[in-house]
Structure formats: structure tokens, C-alpha cells
Amino acid sequence: MLGLENVEAIIRRMLAEEQAKDKETLRKELSRMEDRLINREQVKVLDEQISNVDRHVDDRVDFEVEERVFGI
């Protein structure tokens, strides 16, 4: 028969194992969240760069059209 101290030690070990699993699960989830946040930031930067290129292209097209129409 197990003594009270042995039962307590077993319970403590089981709880520690559960907490370790919970911590690992939380670490993995945090890592995934950080990855998504990084991806969002990268998307924002790329979107801004695309907008800048779009504006530049629009300006260039406008300039070329004016050149051809008005012979500037």
C-alpha cells in the first residue's frame, strides 16, 4: 500500500507534467501568434510598397499621356 507521502509525490509529479504540457502548448500558440503578427506586418509593408509603385506608375502614365496629347 502506498503511503500518503508517496501519493502526494505522485500527484505533484502528475500536476507538474500537466503544467509542463500546458506551458508547451501555450508557447506553441504564442509562437504561432507571433508568426501571424509578423506576417501581418510584412503584408502591411508590402501593401504600402505596392501602393507607392501604383502611384508612381499612374503618375508616369499621366505624364506620358500629357506629353503625347499636348506635345510637351
- Check whether 72 has a pLDDT greater than 80: no
- Check whether 1 has a pLDDT greater than 80: no
Mean residue pLDDT across the chain: 90
Q: What is the pLDDT of residue 19?
A: 94
What are 7-33's pLDDT values in tens digits? 889 999 999 999 999 999 999 999 999
> What is the three-class DSSP state of 71?
coil
First-last CA distance in the chain? 101
Q: What is the pLDDT of residue 55?
A: 93
